[in-house]
Chain A
Amino acid sequence: MEQAGLEALLERLQTTKSIEELQVWTHEVRDYFNVTHVVYHTVTHKGEQIGAFTYSLEWARRYVEKDYRSVDPVVVGGLRRFHPMDWKSLDWSSPQARAMARDAAAHGIANQGWTVPIWGPSGEFAFFILNHATDDAGWSRFTQAKGKEILLVSHLMHQQAMRIINKETDGPTTELSPREREALTQLSLGQSRAAVADVLHISENTLRAYIDSARHKLGAANVTHAVALALARGIIIPKGPLPKY
């Protein structure tokens, strides 16, 4: 049931064609993870910044007006990093950071946060943030249990945001290497991973790395989903006996 929810969420992501639609989608992410807020924004030194979030527009405007990004520990502490960060681990000791935190709380920003900094293949940088009102123990349980899913969703959202910015949403489909297509084709026949690894003369862990790379490129939630998406998009061709009518 939960996997189906994640698959649907990611499939919806791929239908977004504008930052406005991505903004709408962040609300679905919020509901999926059942948290207070979801935020995504790019960080660039030159050129335009884009963001999609569930924060109020009032807070977003105020954040820019007050130039909070230059004192916000979430931005300052996360720049040039690539490991997921609990907001508790950041340095909130400066008076400016504390003042911003108070102002944020007054605007409905919750106490707990989890940031995934994202470095893209072209050297671009972005943040994905989950924000939630709960105690430390509850937040720690949540981030431990959902850590992997948060990583998947954040990177796929970034991938889609880049597609939108580069106007590639209607462009060519995902490029997979012949070996990745071969692995997915074998899996589409319903073979076990062990059997597929055997056919391809690779170890199961190697197969795992290949299909996880394909999964990421396809924007899928898991292996089964990756196979389904690859079939649906014609990236792999169904094999085996044709259905008889």
Chain B
Amino acid sequence: MIRYLYADQLSKVTVLADSMFKDRAAQFKHRLDWEVTIDENGWEVDQYDVLNPLYAIWQNPDGSHGGSLRILPTVGRTMTAEHFLHLTDGVRIASPLIWECTRFCLSPRASVDVAPALMAAGIELGLRFGLEQAVGVVYAHTLPLYRRFGWMPDLVGASGEGRERICVGLWPMSEEARAEIARKSGIPVSVMRRWFDASFAGPAAETREPHSLAA
């Protein structure tokens, strides 16, 4: 299932948090060889994780991380504005209607549902909160993943060659896009809505653990 958690709620789900930051290390440091920092816990954590971002996280039945992405409002500090301004024509993309999604990460243990579930989680969030677009930074070679589920970003700018080619993209937050992901992934829209409600419709969602953990 998808859970939406702010950074300051992660201390209550230690298994999930630990496996998420370790999976990020595995993906961004060891697989992609980005210039990222690994802390003493083996976690990949950067300057944006300390701003208390919101994460959309796929939690496996055993409580561990299956995949995640990190969300920040663009009216505040963002990676796109601070590091990729050259790929947006020098325009600092900043609007209450646009949020930034970064650190799209899949665990090596992830099932096939996880990638579309994370895309759906992003759209559901946008639709419920009245947003229009998501901005993010991705490698060009990961774009087929988005195409497969019908949620191709518009490319604002790109630099680098081959496996190194990196892009700033804009993803539409639309009902059509959500329906398309539902159709191509087989995840019903009603399930996407339930994930959202479980995290945002009631108080103290962070203190509730899945039943498998409570047992």
Q: Which residues of A contact B (CB under 8 A)?
A: 73, 77, 80-84, 89-93, 118-121, 123, 147-148, 150-152, 154-155, 177-180, 202-206, 208-210, 212-213, 215-217
Contacts and interface: CB of A to CB of B under 8 A. Distances in A.
A205 B98 contact: no
The listed residue with most B CB atoms (<10 A of its CB), out of A121, A154, A178, is A121
A206 B98 CA distance: 12
A118 B74 CA distance: 11
Contact of A217 (B94, B97, B172): B94
29 contacts: A77-B203, A82-B73, A83-B125, A89-B202, A92-B203, A118-B75, A119-B73, A119-B76, A123-B77, A148-B97, A150-B130, A151-B96, A155-B75, A155-B96, A177-B89, A178-B90, A180-B91, A202-B89, A202-B156, A203-B156, A205-B133, A206-B154, A209-B95, A210-B91, A212-B132, A213-B91, A213-B92, A213-B94, A213-B98
Given A202-B156, A213-B93, A147 B54 contact: no
A83 B94 contact: no
Interface of B: 6, 8, 52, 54, 72-73, 75-77, 89-98, 125, 129-130, 132-133, 135, 154-156, 170, 172, 200-204
Contacts of B75: 118-121, 155, 216
Q: Interface SS of chain A: helix, strand, loop or mixed?
A: helix
A206 B156 contact: yes
Contacts of B93: 209-210, 213
A82 to B, nearest CB: 5
Given A83-B129, A119-B73, A179 B201 contact: no
A100 to B, nearest CB: 15
A120 B76 contact: yes
Contacts of A215: 95
A147 B131 CA distance: 9
Q: Interface SS of chain B: helix, strand, loop or mixed?
A: loop
A225 to B, nearest CB: 14
Contacts of B132: 148, 208, 212
A228 B8 CA distance: 42
Contacts of A89: 200-203
B97 A212 contact: yes
A148 B131 CA distance: 7
B172 A205 contact: yes
B96 A203 contact: no
B97 A80 contact: no
Contacts of B77: 121, 123
A203 B155 contact: yes
Given A82-B72, A177-B92, A213-B93, 7 more contacts: A89-B200, A202-B156, A206-B156, A209-B98, A209-B135, A212-B133, A216-B75
Nearest to A206: B156
Contacts of A121: 75-77, 94
Contacts of A73: 203
Contacts of B125: 83
Contact of B154 (A81, A177, A205): A205
Contact of A216 (B96, B133, B170): B96
A66 B76 CA distance: 32
A208 B154 CA distance: 11
A180 B94 CA distance: 12
B98 A80 contact: no
Contacts of B94: 121, 213, 216-217
B97 A152 contact: yes
A92 B204 CA distance: 11
A180 B91 CA distance: 7
